[in-house]
Amino acid sequence: MPVEAAAPLAPTGASARLRGSWRLARALLHGLHGLLLVRLWFPWLAQPAREARIRWWAAKMFRMLGMRLEVTGTFRPGAKLLVANHISWLDILAVHAACPEARFVSKAEVGHWPMVSRLVDSARTLYLQRERARDALRVVHEMAAAMRSGDTVAVFPEGTTGNGRELLPFHANLLQAAISTATPVQPVALHFADADGPVSTAADFTGDITLAQSLWALARARGMIVRVHALPAETTAHADRRALAEHLRAQIAEALGALRRV
């Protein structure tokens, strides 16, 4: 009787733990390197040189975690508002690896995360105190000033992380900064896939998942691919911010659907 070929063995729990531990050790060392870079070199570097190192550092962090980064589309030069879906704390690194000049609007709690806070500060992050109802107005003014000076600002209009399968509603408030300054807005679709499926469950950062739990799940994942897809930029002059939010959400949703089929 013919002998059937044995099916490939699935990774054991031990091998996943070993893989995760090795990647975490490399990521930690790279994180410490980033802190030294920020503390010792950044004070002496001009902004273009800082951005070159931000791009390099962010891209290498994905390699340290065993992930492949794929960037498609073209980011518009000059001032713009990037609008992206939100899946993981790695989203900021993914965008920085493709568009290092981006200044993110981030929840204020990130400014208190160990190690991460100093790195985030170095990228000129704008912090939003979500528990203060009127703080969004202050941030809109800061965003507008930044874009008038030629900066790129990036926001996650969902306001929190989603599960990667469907988009949450887009909040329109922060889009007003682009509308009032007639700054182009550019949607960006972020997508995580791995060997277990077209939408990675290891990237899930919803609910009560902690940063440590998320990092461990990502480090253990097999064949993780992080995709950053820049869609064409659009004008914003005289736009209605709620209609603009819905339009951007529809564009990103369509792009994500295509990325899941890759």
Using CA atoms, how far residue 238 sits from 146, 152, 243, in Å, is 20, 20, 11
DSSP state of 248: H
Residue 13, pLDDT score:
77
In degrees to the nearest 10, what's the CA dihedral of 124, 90, 59, 37? 40
For 73-104, the pLDDT digits (tens) are 999 999 999 999 999 989 999 999 999 999 99
Could you please report the per-residue DSSP string of 160-196?
A: S---SSSPPPPP-GGGHHHHHHT--EEEEEEEEEBTT
For 213-253, the pLDDT digits (tens) are 999 999 999 999 999 999 999 999 889 999 999 999 999 99
SS3 sequence of 111-142: HHCCCHHHHHHHCCCEEECCCCCCHHHHHHHH
**What are the beta bridge partners of residue 160?**
none
Contact 97, 59 (CB under 8 A): yes
**What are the beta bridge partners of residue 193?**
225
- Residue 60, pLDDT > 80, answer yes
What 3-state class would DSSP assign to 227?
Answer: strand
Using CA atoms, how far residue 117 sits from 78, 86, 111, 122, in Å, is 26, 19, 5, 9
Question: Which class would CATH give 14-260?
Answer: alpha beta
For 93-152, the pLDDT digits (tens) are 999 999 999 999 887 676 666 666 677 777 788 888 776 768 888 989 999 999 999 999
pTM score, two decimals?
0.89
Residue 129, pLDDT score:
78
